Chains A and B, each alone.
Chain A
Amino acid sequence: MKVVLIVDDSTVIRKVAGKIVRELGFETLEAADGRLALDQCEKRMPDAVLLDWNMPVMDGLDFLRELRKMPGGDVPQVLFCTTENDMNHIQRALEEGANEYIMKPFDSEIIEDKFRQVGLL
């Protein structure tokens, strides 16, 4: 089963997104900030990361930069999932190696659609 790491400082979002992702047939892991997410990736590199932008300790963009430098860190499909919904943020995310970008609020259909876009489904 493919593994999706859900990174968000909101437990509610992690819960809601986690349920949607598991219903799509994935195993999920969770992390509350970018630093904890990197620790997770060191233990076990996920197939995909659903990534919030604004988080304490380490934000999503810094996490992404660090991830892409790690051995095997080029493998996971990274999908931002954030309230930052302006062109600047989207472009920066893509430049740093994000594969897709979800603007909150999201629903199961958007997640399914985007997972399909990046070839996870």
Chain B
Amino acid sequence: MQPENLDFIAKFLKDRSGLVVTADKGYLLDSRLTPLARKRAIKDVDSLVQQLRTGRDAELERAVVEAMTTNESFFFRDGKPFDQFRDNVLPALMQARATRKSFRIWCAAASSGQEPYTIAMILKEQAAKLAGWKVEIVGTDISHDILDRAKKGVYSQFEVQRGLPIQMLVKYFKKKDELWQIDDSLRAMVDYRHHNLLQDLKSLGKFDVVFCRNVLIYFDQPTKTRVLDGIAAQMPADGWLYLGGAETVLGLTERFKPVATQRGVYSLTGAPAKV
């Protein structure tokens, strides 16, 4: 790719989605954008970026942002955080909200739905205890395409074998040809919305538990700080935040502190945002 096109697309992606394309990840531009160029009958990636530079092809802009997202996800990803959610956070939350009998959970990078559906399965297993409660699960993502997949809730044989206990597959999925369809009752528990983490989060309302896993890794430090502080502003003082295995708040914000002995879980400090 021509250097000025490379500079343009790197800045474009960072502004639009926060994605940082480092020099060693340059190959990703080619491998992800070549199929897109082909689909649109554009000669090559350079010509595609030229087209983008006109600033007049909103549809292409959206497609480029989406093509550059990494959507890999698993059910019960990393296991432990979800055990911890079920055994510690959920009981504590039910005690704290006993009079109101409602709480809201947010998956801030929902991807193809494995994370919100994992939470839905955990809640469903506790249905007796949660009778009479109003629980909302909101799943957001920057990619329209991936949200469409999430809404459908249809997974390959490979996807349902990563992290999902076989008993859960039997209980909550139906086989449709070679694919596996998640139960309608679980689909109805998740409200999917398109949302960009770089944009104002206020319209989403407040969330008692936030899962923001395996998305901050793609951002630079100032963007991580901005997103974390934005999330903090959408949480009540006693809320919980879950990050991915390779992510942390340390050195990024004073708004969250790690929950002792529980990796990947954070609570609010009450410190004001630095902004």
Contacts and interface: CB of A to CB of B under 8 A. Distances in A.
Given A86-B175, A87-B175, A114 B161 contact: yes
Nearest to A91: B170
Contacts of A91: 170
A90 B162 contact: no
Interface stretch (A6-14, A39-47, A62-70, A99-107): A99-107
B170 A94 contact: yes
B161 A110 contact: yes
B166 A94 contact: yes
B163 A113 contact: yes
Interface SS, A side:
helix
Interface string A93-121: 01000001111001001100110110000
A90 B79 contact: no
B159 to A, nearest CB: 11
Contact of A103 (B79, B157, B174): B157
25 contacts: A85-B157, A87-B174, A87-B175, A90-B166, A90-B169, A90-B170, A91-B170, A94-B167, A94-B170, A100-B165, A100-B166, A101-B166, A102-B161, A103-B157, A103-B161, A106-B161, A109-B162, A110-B158, A110-B161, A110-B162, A113-B161, A113-B163, A114-B161, A116-B79, A117-B165
Contacts, number: 31
A104 to B, nearest CB: 9
Contacts of A101: 166
Interface in B75-108: 79
A7 to B, nearest CB: 18
Interface in B155-183: 157-158, 161-163, 165-167, 169-170, 174-175
Nearest to A80: B166
Contacts of B163: 113
Most buried by B among A94, A100, A103: A103
Contacts of A116: 79
B161 A87 contact: no
A103 B174 CA distance: 15
A107 B165 CA distance: 17
Contacts of B174: 87
Contacts of B158: 110
A82 B70 CA distance: 31
A113 B162 contact: yes
Interface in B109-168: 157-158, 161-163, 165-167
A102 B174 CA distance: 16
A10 B221 CA distance: 52
Contacts of A94: 166-167, 170
Contacts of A106: 161
Nearest to B163: A113
- Nearest 10 interchain pairs by C-beta: A101-B166, A110-B161, A100-B166, A117-B165, A103-B157, A87-B175, A113-B162, A90-B170, A86-B175, A113-B163
Given A94-B166, A102-B161, A116-B79, 6 more contacts: A85-B175, A90-B166, A91-B170, A110-B161, A113-B162, A117-B165
